[in-house]
Amino acid sequence: MIVASALDELRIWRHGSDGDVGFVPTMGALHKGHVSLVQQSRATCDSTAVSIYINPTQFDNADDLASYPETLQKDLDTLEGLGVDCVFVPTYEVLYPDDFAYQVEERGFSNTLCGAHRPSHFTGVLTVVMKLLNLVRPDKAFFGEKDFQQLTLIRNMVDAFFMDVEIVGCPTVREPDGLAMSSRNLNLAPADRQQAPIFREILEKATSDDDARRQLGEAGFVVDYVETIEGRRLGAVSVGAADRSVRLIDNITLEL
């Protein structure tokens, strides 16, 4: 497995790659959800690249960025065990030689749901994903459906800019108790970890979005939003004390 931190290293690897290349962009702290994306790439592509980069431009809260878990060596060991061909581990200076002067902005859907109170979040996401796709030049890129708004925006960006890559959405991977796997789950205090699976249960069983918001509030969550769009109920909540709260997102398909 090649670990590339410089652009020349990545380009040399990509130039020598034959057949279809799959790509899984991550921010590290890998879990079984990431593993499933890599496995899907390995099953459908001739070679697989993964990026590990905690992207500061998508964080609107400095404390949130500082608390994001970093487990680089463990992640590299995991990826090598999965048979990944190349891991791209850039620095800010490598990815942002312009110091974020040039940005990709979407003016509609990105301002709703997770973007309603985080106005720069998806600008950071879309900008870094476009940079990574341009550098790796994959045939397919794999993203989880847990971040459904992100997945939709990336698909639409690729279409809007005529980018020659297929965006593949993969099902949400869950813990045995139903909690959607997320790197942020590592930051949950034990009591909050016990409470967290109720989020998904309420999204699934509530009779309406208003009912879901009410039940979540009564269960002790701070509700950011619950909204159903085209048969999919999406939600975001925070759990835990104010000084250590963790933001959770999830979505479920409603039975019609």
Cβ contacts of 208 within 8 Å, gap of 6 or more? none
Strands 21-26 and 140-144: parallel
SS (H, E, C) 42-70: HHHCCEEEEEECCCHHHCCCHHHHHHCCC
Comparing CA positions, the residue from 205, 188, 207, 189 lying closest to residue 248 is: 188
| Structure tokens that stand for 85 in this block | 């061909």
| 8 A C-beta contact, residue 130 and residue 104 | yes
Exposure of 210 in the CB half-sphere (CA atoms within 13 A): 0
The whole-angstrom separation of Cα 82 and Cα 171 is 19
Exposure of 176 in the CB half-sphere (CA atoms within 13 A): 0
Tell me, yes or no, if 34 is annotated catalytic: yes
The whole-angstrom separation of Cα 240 and Cα 243 is 8
Residue keyed to tokens 């879901």: 212
Strands 232-239 and 222-229: antiparallel
| Residue among 15, 31, 34, 117 flagged as catalytic | 34
What one-letter code names the amino acid at 45?
Answer: C
Any idea which residues carry the catalytic annotation? 34
